Amino acid sequence: MLLNADAKGVFPIAPTPFFEDGAIDYASLDRLMDFYHASGCTGVTVLGQLGEAAKLDAAEALQVASRAVARSHGMPVVVGVSAPGFAAMRALTHDVMALGAAGVMIAPPNTLRTDDQIVTYYRQAVEAIGDDVPFILQDYPLTFSVQMSVDVIRRIVTTLPSCVMLKHEDWPGLEKISALRRLVATGEMRHIAILCGNGGLFLNHELERGADGANTGYAFPDMLCDTVRLHTEGRRDEMHDLFDAHLPLLRYEQQPGVGLAVRKYVLARRGLLSHATQRRPASQLTPAAMAEVEGLLSRLAQKDPRALRVEV
């Protein structure tokens, strides 16, 4: 099943589970994949930035992708293949597509500064991996320091038919979504899927601006699925009420540097990860931070029982 421009719903960015000694915990990865399917996710992305892809060697990356595809329950699996050079990107792309991946995600290197440099980079990336491989364009200037204007995205989409999705993570970025959808409405750009990141921090309004769903982490991907479903069903107040209940934890988890530690802590607390371990170098939650997360979860549980601790 290849990814296409009609993708919708939630494609969670799966964390890579580790044991306390840093070895990959494949049983927890299986549990995550089962949970994503049961929660109504429409796809999964592995080896994303918060999947700690840079801490894996080439063989490990391929093993994680292979395990996710094997346990996907028919969900399309997207693999992050961003790399300093095109040789490594090409090799991983060809390997994961042979395993049954649905497509790949490519982030821009932080050396790109001009519009022409950005467009040229993605043209060369497609030449490297092949124009038969669907790819997601990742637009995350807060992390990658690459500013993609609406026109740059239009140029990439127009000149590279294998670009089927934008992972929208600009911030503020609501006007960008509206502008892109206007280009489609006026025939100046073909339709592509727009799924949003930033931990889901603005998902409720992004959906109302024309986004198709979420492609992000957050420790409650099932809530993201519910948010998209309620929006699709036109139940606006219920959508905002659910989202607002989670917003304090969403905000806390989105802190630079400690966000993944928070996410893994909560996923372990929910019984989905055996350990909250990150592979080194890594940040860890202090006792004070753990207490703050517990306080947020306690308050959230008053409105959403999924925040209650799961004993495993």
pLDDT, tens digit (0-9, with 9 covering 90-100), for 66-81: 999 999 999 999 999 9
Quick check: 226 pLDDT over 90? Answer: yes
pLDDT, tens digit (0-9, with 9 covering 90-100), for 171-224: 999 999 999 999 999 999 999 999 999 999 999 999 999 999 999 999 999 999
Quick check: 306 pLDDT over 60? Answer: yes
Q: Exposure pattern of 183-210 as b/e (b: 16+ CB <10 Å)? A: bbeeeebeebbbbbbbbbbbbbebbebb
Quick check: 312 pLDDT over 60? Answer: no
Between CA 160 and CA 181 the distance in angstroms is 18
Q: In what order do the strands lie in the sheet with 163-168?
A: 9-10, 213-214, 193-196, 163-168, 135-139, 103-106, 77-80, 44-46
**Helix (H/G/I), strand (E/B), else coil: 18:** strand
Percent of the chain with pLDDT over 90: 96
What integer best gives the mean pLDDT of the chain? 97
Give 279's DSSP letter.
P
State the residue for tokens 């969403």. 250
pTM (predicted TM-score): 0.96
Q: What pLDDT score was predicted for residue 112? A: 97
DSSP line for 96-151 = HHHHT--EEEEPPPTT--SHHHHHHHHHHHHHHH-TTS-EEEEE-HHHH-----HH
State the residue for tokens 């024309």. 210
State the residue for tokens 């905000």. 251
Lookup: tokens for 262: 């928070």
268, 305, 307 from 310: Cα distances, Å = 9, 11, 9
Query: Among residues 212, 216, 214, which one has the least CA distance to residue 225?
Result: 214
pLDDT tier at 236 (50, 70, 90 boundaries)? Answer: very high
Q: What pLDDT score was predicted for residue 309? A: 84
Q: Rounded to the nearest 5°, which phi and psi values hold at 169?
A: -135, 20
**Residue ranges of domains in the chain:** 9-235
Q: Exposure pattern of 12-31 as b/e (b: 16+ CB <10 Å)? A: bbbbbbbeeeeebbeebbeb
The strand pairing partners of 136, in sequence order, are 105, 165
CATH of domain 9-235: 3.20.20.70
pLDDT, tens digit (0-9, with 9 covering 90-100), for 265-302: 999 999 999 999 999 999 889 999 999 999 999 999 99
**Sign, CA torsion 49/55/58/59:** negative
15 within 8 A of 48, measured Cβ to Cβ: no
Q: What pLDDT score was predicted for residue 79? A: 98
**Helix (H/G/I), strand (E/B), else coil: 185:** helix
Q: What pLDDT score was predicted for residue 49? A: 84
Between CA 12 and CA 216 the distance in angstroms is 5
